[in-house]
Amino acid sequence: MKRLIKLIRKQWLGYLFGILTLLTSIVLDMYNPYFVGEIIDRSIIGGELGYLRIALLALAGITLGRAVLGYTKELSFDIASSKVIVDLRKKMFDHIQKLSFSFFDENNTGELMSRIKEDTENIMNAICYGIMLFLEQIIYFIIATVILLTINWKLALISLVTMPVIEYVVFRLERSVGKTYEKISDQRAVLNTTAQQNIAGVRVVKAFGREKYEIQKFLRQNEENYKINYEQAQAMARYNPPIEFLSNLVLVLVVSVGGYYVIGGDMSLGTLVAFSNYIYMLIWPMRMMGWLTNVLAQCMASVKKIDKLFEEEPSIRNCDAPIKPERLEGHVEFRNVSFEYAGTNVLEKIDIDAKPGSTIAIMGMTGAGKSSLVNLIGRYYDCSSGQVMIDGVDVREMDLTVLRKNVSAVMQDTFLFSDTIEDNIKFGAGEVPEEVFKAACSDAMVDEFVSQMPEGYQTVIGERGMGLSGGQKQRISIARALVRDARVLIMDDSTSALDMETEYAIQKAMEKRKGITCFIIAHRVSAVKNADEILYFQDGRIAERGTHSELLRLRGRYYDTYCEQYRDYVEALEKEVV
């Protein structure tokens, strides 16, 4: 809340301007009933034609003035509030960007999207129309009350006494409408999620022949949506008639008593007409208050949710006095490292010493902890015990920017942005010299297929790299990691979709890149056999370690994997020999 108030205060000039135009417009409006009353008394009854002309001119002036002021008022409130929302969204986005991997493991994208979109819209409603109408209605109410009391206090009291009754009915009805709003908002979120997941996963739906089921699921939710909308329509329909009835009843009461005064000569007809017009200025605020409380309640709920998001601290951040080495050699060590996710041990007592420029290959069954291990190097997660060191410095003591700049990763699930191929590759590097870009593209074998494209590197690819093959996407993400020219390179299963020939060509090109410490996770022996050390993981532990030939001699799991992968080849060879 404090954050929001601060942002609103920053736009004080816009709001002040809006409030001034609002006040002027109200003052003008107050003259309306006055002139109408005067026209009746002085011109229609009294026959003063000269006054009629002046009064009509004044009424036209008021109407024009109000139109201009109304426009300016809405515009100023709108601009000021939009600026607040832009600032708020920016702050939220900055904050979300700072949060750690673990936060995104626990929170789904849909919910974060609704924080950025729907919740900020709720706040916009309140700080723009809410504030504007609230001020307007309060002022109308106060001024109208004073005017009514000065015109005729008895008649004013009669009307004022009925206001709480109207307000009570308004609140009762508004509550039922408000409830349906909430239901609609929840239901819309469900409908959106279903539609979004369905469209994003349309290929899976089709491949598994689940179209009919998915359509029915959507139809059920759509039906539900219709029912709630119908419920809301009913609540809305019930809303107006009783309030309309009560408002008119007040008018009937005032005209009856007022008429009595007019007949008795205690009040002029014009004053009575003016009086009844002013009464609308009392009733409107009453009617608006119900809507306003709903808008305010929605805004408060959204502010609470957004505040909660802001309270989320990144679990990974710089220590108090982070070390900022000028240059890293890329000496990576794991010292007795254990790691757990939510209480379950994923890695246990791992020791690795990767000398600068060496290549460490990691193999093992799925779920063995390979990705979890490499995720500790760039501090995507922190280990639970032990130490991960680079050049003798615990990564937790190293400046995060320096660390992440020096650790480049090709993640297991490739994610490409809907942008040009060039921008996707330069994504993490900013401005890079042309030769560095070219070298990365050629080493990652991106050049080979991009040069065939009519628009080359300027080709815009679809969401998540749509329009490219799995291997092409992997090659682009390898180039994206290479272009950063980092000391430590992590390749998490990043050649799995490549054919052997391309994989081999990339390996050869990488060998030429001297001084980079490489961690390669792979399932194919062909991808790991040249590594300085191969680690075979099982259940979070290193079950076997050594060079390719050492591990073959060991005749353990690595050997089994090797035999499995080369069996056909060996069999074919044997047949040939026979």
Cβ 461 vs Cβ 418: under 8 Å: yes
Nearest distance, CB of residue 511 and Mg ion, angstroms: 24
Q: Which is nearer to Mg ion, 192 or 412 (CB)?
A: 412
Among 1-9, 29-37, 298-306, 359-367, the segment contacting ligand DGT (CB under 6 A):
359-367
Among 71-79, 217-225, 365-373, 507-515, the segment contacting Mg ion (CB under 5 A):
365-373
* Partner touching 363 among Mg ion, ligand DGT, none, CB below 5 to 8 Å by kind: none
Nearest distance, CB of residue 205 and ligand DGT, angstroms: 24
Q: In the sheet where 344-354 sits, what is the strand order? A: 344-354, 332-341, 385-390, 393-394
Q: Is 370 in the site for ligand DGT (CB under 6 A)?
A: yes
Q: Is 527 in the site for ligand DGT (CB under 6 A)?
A: no
Q: Which of 270, 369, 378, 465 binds ligand DGT (CB under 6 A)?
A: 369
Q: Which is nearer to Mg ion, 292 or 363 (CB)?
A: 363
Window 407-466: residues binding Mg ion (CB under 5 A): 412
Q: Position of tokens 């059920």? A: 220
x/- map, 78-107, ligand DGT, by CB under 6 A: ---------------------------x--
Nearest distance, CB of residue 342 and ligand DGT, angstroms: 4
Which among 459, 446, 477 is positioned nearest to 418, based on CA atoms?
459
| DSSP letter (8 states) at residue 464 | G
Q: Which of 342, 413, 430, 578 binds ligand DGT (CB under 6 A)?
A: 342
Computed from CA positions of residues 282, 287, 288, 292, in that sequence, does the dihedral angle turn out positive or negative?
Answer: positive
| DSSP letter (8 states) at residue 536 | E
Under DSSP, is residue 350 helix (H, G, I), strand (E, B) or coil? strand
Q: Is 31 in the site for ligand DGT (CB under 6 A)?
A: no
Which among 123, 559, 33 is positioned nearest to 303, based on CA atoms?
123
Number of residues located near ligand DGT, criterion CB under 6 A: 13
Nearest distance, CB of residue 412 and ligand DGT, angstroms: 6
Q: How many angstroms separate the CA atoms of 225 and 394, rounded?
A: 54
Q: How many angstroms separate the CA atoms of 84 and 42, rounded?
A: 50
Q: Which is nearer to ligand DGT, 43 or 371 (CB)?
A: 371
Q: Is 371 in the site for Mg ion (CB under 5 A)?
A: yes
Output the 3-class SS for 120-170: HHHHHHHHHHHHHHHHHHHHHHHHHHHHHHHHCHHHHHHHHHHHHHHHHHH
Q: How far is CA 311 from CA 94, 96, 306, 308, 315, in A?
A: 13, 11, 9, 5, 12
Nearest distance, CB of residue 503 and Mg ion, angstroms: 18
Question: Element (H or E) spanning 388, and its range?
Answer: strand 385-390
x/- map, 221-250, ligand DGT, by CB under 6 A: ------------------------------
Which among 481, 494, 501 is positioned nearest to 407, based on CA atoms?
481
Q: Is 487 in the site for ligand DGT (CB under 6 A)?
A: no
Tokens of 517: 């410490």
* Partner touching 368 among Mg ion, ligand DGT, none, CB below 5 to 8 Å by kind: ligand DGT
Nearest distance, CB of residue 103 and Mg ion, angstroms: 20
In angstroms and rounded to an integer, the radius of gyration of the C-alpha atoms of the chain is 36
Nearest distance, CB of residue 542 and Mg ion, angstroms: 16
List interacting residues with Mg ion (CB under 5 A). Answer: 371, 412
List interacting residues with ligand DGT (CB under 6 A). Answer: 105, 341-342, 346, 364, 366-372, 412
